[in-house]
A and B are shown apart, each in its own frame.
Chain A
Amino acid sequence: MEKITSLEYNTLIWFIIRACFVELTITKVLALTKQDSWISILIGIIIGLIPFSIFEYIKNKYPNYNYIILNKKLFKYGNIINLIILIGCIILSTCIFWILVHFANSLFLYKTNPLIISIAFIIPICYASTKEMHIISKVSLIIFYISVIFNIMIMTGLTSEIDISNIKPLFENKSKIIETSLIFTALNITKIFFLNIIPKNKVINHSSKINYLTYFITTINLLDIALSSVCIFGIDLATIYEYPAFQILKRVNILGIISKLESILAIEGIFSIFIVITIIIYYAKAIIIQTFKPKEKTNKYITISICSIILILNNIMFQTKEEANSFFIEPLIYIIYIIFVFLPLITLVKSLYHTENIK
């Protein structure tokens, strides 16, 4: 693996945290905690520091190894742990891919068969996944600049629409705040796990401080999106939309001249999902390579196979939107916490008692 810069690494954090927020998380968060959504996201940001710190600790403690190799070195049954993670990767990437296809289908291509959309999306994802991490991170950096420009445009264009009194009354749905915070953390923060595929020594000028700073900037940006949705629409209108954060984009009006930008601005959300799925597939491919050690020329067929599985599962896993939504709320959250938080936690505990040098 070639080295990537710290900035490129941080843009990956930016996109991984943002992915699925507009397309899924915000709808769930608003439905559960209504005008207290911002409080649940704020608590979610604090809870999210736990998995984020676990990942940072592991990365700093073993700067030469990615998480897959580390499992093999630390545990007797490291391969089994890696295969469990592989299953998690397939499930999570299928769910995220379904969210992407459904988002495009609902808002832009409502007359198109979802199968066609999924084929159109999986091919570029598959192509990107065959590339090395330094190429993916360079693409991420370019898209990051676009993302920042779009975010400035959104903030400028929406300021006049905000009515802060819409977040009142506070703590009306306090019983669900913690549950919602955990959902937010699971869907948005824990995906940073996949950056453990990049060992610390492969990041030029890697700095945990900058990583934490990026974490806070990104999550506060998400908090801003949630607050804007509630403040602009009012909670009652915001909760009737399937994609409230997309609907507020329809109101972006810059200096009374530039408007009707929602389709362009929504591309940023689609890019985030593209990057996160690409990284997950890259991770899954790495597990297969490390576990089964196939010949190098078969590597691209591994990517194609994973993408084909995602494509097939995407079309058979959920028959209706309700089925998908109920899966995203409960089973998926448990799967994410068990595989992407609990397993790294075990690694962390093991590493605390593991004093021998790993070769």
Chain B
Amino acid sequence: MKKLLLIICLILCGCTDYAELNNLSIVTAMSIDKDEDNYKLSVLIANSPKAQTTSKEGEAKTTVYEGTGKTIAEAIKVIDKKSPKQLYFSHINVVIISKEIGKEGFLKTADWLIRHPQTRDKFYLMQVDDDKASDILKIISPLESFPSQSIATLIESSQNAKSTGDTASYSNFIGRVLETGYEPMMYTIKINGDVKKGSKQSNLETAMPNTYLSLGPLAIYKNDKLIDTSTNKETETIQIINNEIKELIYKIKYKNNNINIFSNNIKTNIDIENKSTIEIKVKAKGSIYEIDDYLNIRELKEINNLEKAWNKSIKKDIEKLINNLKYKYQSDIFGFGNMIYKNYPDRWKQIKNNWNEQFKDLNIKVKVNTKITSTGNLTKTLKEGESWKK
């Protein structure tokens, strides 16, 4: 009897909280928009019955519920009343916020997502630029069953970024906001095409989908507020500095040639030299990927000159980006301030209240060391071959 009681206690202690899977609405994505003074929250339900059966023509497989409230919790309460099943947040994969939320300051809405016992902090956080965040959840992809999965796949398989996922994660963003001398950034996502068409099953029936989602450039934040969105080139340079590049195809202009260099070996180190000098060192090895005109690539001198041009181009991009961070965005996304705080805490105490101005005066040295190790499958350019024929 005692043993039976013991087993009952150990096995059934969670039964007061139990919920049947059939009675749960599993939320896999969430979007937050601003609707005047209220927050408009949309949740994407993964386990709706229609997701598990073959859809009729024109019918979407996904189910999205929307609710509006003064706070996130209030909006969730509204959705709870609409949803016949209990909302379950443990499987949230993606959270999309609108530009307005970013501008207002994301921490206002972030608390619920990190405090709720069901949520995990390793989901992706993204921002839309011009669209409504809720529209993102409605776009169905030909390759994935659910928009949330489609966005996650988009981030994870992003061709040139190996760890875009780190920058895009929710906990990374919150960590950057809280950390001393660091500013956060967030990937943007956009809808290409018409939202209405994209939310229908017919979007999957054409060889070329009418509407699809694509990853945009990085949005630059200061504290928790959106400052601006970087350009595509700046995003690529940020990824280089953050060591988030797996494969890079870098275009340079050399002797009227457009030359593309492919690199899958690129590494950046940021070191602090002294209280006011930071050094960014980039090392890259690459091979010639494409040349659109004549170039004597059999000459070692020519290859050396090409390396110098590549060096110069990367250096110029980094210096331009740093300059924009200092004066245009005024945001320390690489955590130079954090490096000063960690290595020279006394100096940081003196400058932390005036870091915006001090950041402009910070001496940032850029050293780039590139090497072209291969010319691809060809030993000369096609144009060179053509000239011999003449």
Given the interface pairs A111-B16, A123-B6, the reply to whether A250 lies near B121 with Cβ below 8 Å is: yes
Does chain A have a CB within 8 A of B2? yes
Q: Cα distance A123–B13 when bound, in Å?
A: 11
Q: Cα distance A121–B8 when bound, in Å?
A: 11
Interface of B (DSSP majority class): helix
Give min CB distance, A174 to chain B, whole Å. Answer: 12
Given the interface pairs A106-B117, A237-B174, A251-B122, the reply to whether A127 lies near B2 with Cβ below 8 Å is: yes
Asked if B9 contacts A109 (CB within 8 A), the reply is: no
Q: Cα distance A251–B175 when bound, in Å?
A: 14
Asked if B5 contacts A123 (CB within 8 A), the reply is: yes
- Interface residue ranges of B169-215 to A (CB < 8 Å): 171, 174-175, 178-180
Asked if B13 contacts A234 (CB within 8 A), the reply is: no
Given the interface pairs A107-B117, A123-B6, A236-B178, the reply to whether A169 lies near B345 with Cβ below 8 Å is: yes
Interface string of B102-138 (1 = CB under 8 A from A): 0000000000001001001110000000000000000
Q: Cα distance A329–B343 when bound, in Å?
A: 32
Asked if A168 contacts B342 (CB within 8 A), the reply is: yes
Range of interface residues on B (Cβ < 8 Å)? 20 to 34
Does chain B have a CB within 8 A of A120? yes
Q: Cα distance A250–B122 when bound, in Å?
A: 8
Asked if B343 contacts A169 (CB within 8 A), the reply is: yes
Q: Cα distance A16–B117 when bound, in Å?
A: 28
The residues of B that contact A247 with a CB separation of less than 8 Å are 121
The residues of A that contact B345 with a CB separation of less than 8 Å are 169, 172
Q: Cα distance A240–B345 when bound, in Å?
A: 22
Give min CB distance, A117 to chain B, whole Å. Answer: 7
Asked if A169 contacts B178 (CB within 8 A), the reply is: no
Does chain A have a CB within 8 A of B385? no
Asked if A123 contacts B9 (CB within 8 A), the reply is: yes
Given the interface pairs A127-B6, A169-B343, A237-B174, the reply to whether A121 lies near B179 with Cβ below 8 Å is: no
Does chain B have a CB within 8 A of A63? no
Considering the complex of A and B, which 9 residue pairs feature the smallest CB-CB distances, nearest first?
A: A120-B13, A236-B178, A168-B342, A169-B345, A112-B16, A123-B9, A237-B175, A110-B117, A120-B9
> Chain A residues in contact with chain B, CB under 8 A?
106-113, 116-117, 119-121, 123-124, 127, 165, 168-169, 172, 233-234, 236-237, 240, 247, 250-251, 260
> Chain B residues in contact with chain A, CB under 8 A?
2, 5-6, 9-10, 12-14, 16-17, 114, 117, 120-122, 171, 174-175, 178-180, 341-343, 345
What are 24 A-B contacts with C-beta separation under 8 Å? Answer: A106-B117, A107-B117, A108-B14, A109-B17, A112-B14, A113-B16, A116-B16, A117-B13, A119-B9, A120-B10, A120-B13, A121-B13, A124-B9, A127-B2, A127-B5, A169-B341, A169-B345, A234-B178, A234-B179, A236-B175, A237-B174, A237-B175, A240-B178, A250-B120
